A and B are shown apart, each in its own frame.
Chain A
Amino acid sequence: MNFVAAIGRLLISFFQAVGRIAMFTGLALFHSLRPPFYPRLILRQMIDIGYYSLPVVGLTAIFTGMVLALQSYSGFARFSAESAVATVVVISITRELGPVLAALMVAGRIGASMAAEIGTMRVTEQIDALTTLSTNPYKYLVMPRLLAGLAMMPVLVLVADIIGVFGGYIIGVNKLGFNPAAYLKSTFEYLEFKDVFSGLVKASVFGFIITLMGCYHGYHSQRGAQGVGTATINAVVSALILILVFNYMITELFFAR
């Protein structure tokens, strides 16, 4: 009986959390439709997400592309399908690994820093101060971050796609003995628009999830330094889980028959 009660409690708190996050999202979207807008803040967030995440995302992408080329070559050699390496690399990167790995990296970087920043603002009463200065914190803090996440993640992932494919190319040509022109030709021969597009849609959704979790957990941070720490952890962990779940759902939406 206790066991059932525990499960029940877990379910209730789960749905409460979902409800609160939905409320938060609704409020943020509602407030983002009416002026004032803050272009300077949006730009700053865009630079933070898009530009300063480039090194870590690029590094992830190039090594992923390189490993992918190596692995698929040695795997496919077992049934003499080595020629498929280029195609496998480009499809895996654009559809899956580009968006997902970039999102995981950005979740650690941006999600954590947003939760910590907004959480600190909450516990030091800076958010209260905003409202007393007639500034809506949803408009001033949340909306620029959500918008920047939504807009910049696809750009970041597009760059990651290119770097990842390039990583595969380097290994394919220099190590596995592919002819450069032939490798490039088979990279693009079977690539469909949908492969890249679905990856960019994922990127946008992931960008929204990461910034939403960062803002939500920071905004509702408990008092004290410990509260901010917990908010940061929750922001990253919940973003990671949601990214994995939504990754499956979007894949299903695009590719299931």
Chain B
Amino acid sequence: MSTNLQTPKIKVRGLKKAFGNKVVLDGLDIDVMPGESVVIIGGSGTGKSVLLKCILGIIHPDAGSIEIDGEEVTRMSSRERERVMRKFGMLFQGGALFDSLRVWENVSFGLVQAQGMDRVQAKDIAIRKLAAVGLGPEVGELLPAELSGGMQKRVALARAIATEPDIILFDEPTTGLDPIMSDVINDLIVDCVKQLGATTLSITHDLASARKIAHRIAMIYNGKIIWSGPVSKIDYTGNAYVDQFIHGRAEGPIKVEVGAISDPLPGSRR
């Protein structure tokens, strides 16, 4: 599907980011080739969203390099950065819909603001993108606050793909959706890659979704990618961390620190 002679769409090397003294990314490397769909899996709070935000330039990494189509972006001026940004679509984990704008205005935002399309045409496209995520045209007239969580997610998805960007980042596209709708969204992401030739980097906790949309899966742990390989090998990695994660076991090398629920609260007298 891709040869190593091509320039990667996204090439991350030695990426480091700490918040205060909490190290989140610790020398992370990852490549995404053109037309490839890579899925990142990993525990909650391991820095998956932070990685996507570093790639987008929303968070400035402490060290490391990020190349988009062979261009180093970490030291770019804000104007050049804006140019590179036009290649991206992003689905935020929380949706990040503009709550003062109606749904169709949200979906067509990139078309109107960045590409200067007129509003009538943009609305047409917005309605079609909404249909692609299973939402009727009447939803377009609502405000984001009037939607359910799952509907907001789908609107955010429609917004991320509306400009048919080159590279699309999906932060947990199926979280909060019912199983059937999840599968509709999986198909949609697969279509983005197949029909639009987009390169995608997705984050998910949903392994069914990962198996369906990924060409390659990478697992993040302790600020690094500890395993990465084709989706067909995910069940035979021989990696104890990956095994524990995909089988969802509480016991294993990945330690989750929790207190017992019946422990008395510190300082409580009884």
Which residues in A have some Cβ–Cβ distance to B below 8 Å?
36, 117, 120-121, 124-126, 128-136, 140
Are B56 and A126 in touch, CB under 8 angstroms?
A: no
- What chain B residues lie within 8 Å of A132 (beta carbons)? 56, 58, 85, 88-90
The secondary-structure label for the interface of chain A is helix
Q: Of residues 80 to 114 in B, which have CB atoms within 8 Å of A's CB atoms? A: 82, 85-86, 88-90, 92, 94, 96-100, 109-110, 113-114
Q: List 7 A-B contacts (CB under 8 A).
A: A117-B100, A120-B99, A125-B94, A129-B98, A131-B56, A132-B56, A136-B82
Q: Does B211 reach chain A (CB closer than 8 Å)?
A: no
Are A134 and B53 in touch, CB under 8 angstroms?
A: no
Are B94 and A124 in touch, CB under 8 angstroms?
A: yes
Which residue of chain A has the shortest Cβ distance to B163 in the bound complex?
A133
- What chain A residues lie within 8 Å of B89 (beta carbons)? 132
Are A134 and B82 in touch, CB under 8 angstroms?
A: yes
Are B110 and A128 in touch, CB under 8 angstroms?
A: no
Are B98 and A128 in touch, CB under 8 angstroms?
A: no
Q: Of residues 47 to 61 in B, which have CB atoms within 8 Å of A's CB atoms? A: 53, 56-58
Are A134 and B86 in touch, CB under 8 angstroms?
A: yes
Are B113 and A135 in touch, CB under 8 angstroms?
A: yes
Given the known inter-chain contacts A126-B97, A134-B82, please indicate yes or no for A36 contacting B92, CB distance below 8 A: no
Per-residue interface assignment for chain B, residues 59 to 90, with 1 indicating a CB less than 8 Å from any chain A CB and 0 otherwise: 00000000000000000000000100110111
- What chain A residues lie within 8 Å of B86 (beta carbons)? 134
Count of CB-CB pairs between chains A and B under 8 Å? 52
> Within the assembled complex, what's the spacing in Å between the Cα atoms of A36 and B96?
23
Which residue of chain B has the shortest Cβ distance to A135 in the bound complex?
B113
Which residue of chain B has the shortest Cβ distance to A138 in the bound complex?
B78
A135's partner among B57, B96, B114, B159 (CB-CB below 8 A) is B114
Are B96 and A126 in touch, CB under 8 angstroms?
A: yes
Are B96 and A129 in touch, CB under 8 angstroms?
A: yes
A114 vs chain B, min Cβ distance (A): 12
Are B113 and A133 in touch, CB under 8 angstroms?
A: yes
> Within the assembled complex, what's the spacing in Å between the Cα atoms of A126 and B159?
13
- What chain B residues lie within 8 Å of A135 (beta carbons)? 109, 113-114
> Within the assembled complex, what's the spacing in Å between the Cα atoms of A117 and B109?
19
Which residue of chain A has the shortest Cβ distance to B100 in the bound complex?
A117
Which residues in B have some Cβ–Cβ distance to A below 8 Å?
53, 56-58, 82, 85-86, 88-90, 92, 94, 96-100, 109-110, 113-114, 159, 163
> Within the assembled complex, what's the spacing in Å between the Cα atoms of A132 and B159?
11
- What chain B residues lie within 8 Å of A125 (beta carbons)? 92, 94, 96
Are A134 and B96 in touch, CB under 8 angstroms?
A: no
Are B96 and A124 in touch, CB under 8 angstroms?
A: yes
A245 vs chain B, min Cβ distance (A): 32
Task: Kindly name the residue among A120, A124, A140 whose own CB sees the greatest number of chain B CB atoms within 10 A.
Answer: A124
- What chain A residues lie within 8 Å of B85 (beta carbons)? 131-132, 134
Task: Kindly name the residue among A126, A130, A134 whose own CB sees the greatest number of chain B CB atoms within 10 A.
Answer: A134
Which residue of chain B has the shortest Cβ distance to A123 in the bound complex?
B94
> Within the assembled complex, what's the spacing in Å between the Cα atoms of A126 and B152?
13
- What chain B residues lie within 8 Å of A124 (beta carbons)? 94, 96, 99
Are B53 and A128 in touch, CB under 8 angstroms?
A: yes
Are B99 and A126 in touch, CB under 8 angstroms?
A: yes
- What chain A residues lie within 8 Å of B159 (beta carbons)? 133
A117 vs chain B, min Cβ distance (A): 8
- What chain B residues lie within 8 Å of A134 (beta carbons)? 82, 85-86, 110, 113-114
B200 vs chain A, min Cβ distance (A): 15
- What chain B residues lie within 8 Å of A117 (beta carbons)? 100
Given the known inter-chain contacts A124-B96, A135-B113, please indicate yes or no for A129 contacting B90, CB distance below 8 A: yes
Which residue of chain B has the shortest Cβ distance to A140 in the bound complex?
B113
A99 vs chain B, min Cβ distance (A): 30
B181 vs chain A, min Cβ distance (A): 22
B205 vs chain A, min Cβ distance (A): 19
Which residue of chain A has the shortest Cβ distance to B82 in the bound complex?
A134
Are B82 and A129 in touch, CB under 8 angstroms?
A: no
> Within the assembled complex, what's the spacing in Å between the Cα atoms of A129 and B93?
11
- What chain B residues lie within 8 Å of A131 (beta carbons)? 56-58, 85
- What chain A residues lie within 8 Å of B114 (beta carbons)? 133-135
B178 vs chain A, min Cβ distance (A): 24
Are A133 and B97 in touch, CB under 8 angstroms?
A: no
Task: Kindly name the residue among B58, B82, B96, B109 whose own CB sees the greatest number of chain A CB atoms within 10 A.
Answer: B96
B69 vs chain A, min Cβ distance (A): 17
A79 vs chain B, min Cβ distance (A): 57
A121 vs chain B, min Cβ distance (A): 8
Given the known inter-chain contacts A124-B94, A129-B90, A129-B92, please indicate yes or no for A36 contacting B58, CB distance below 8 A: no
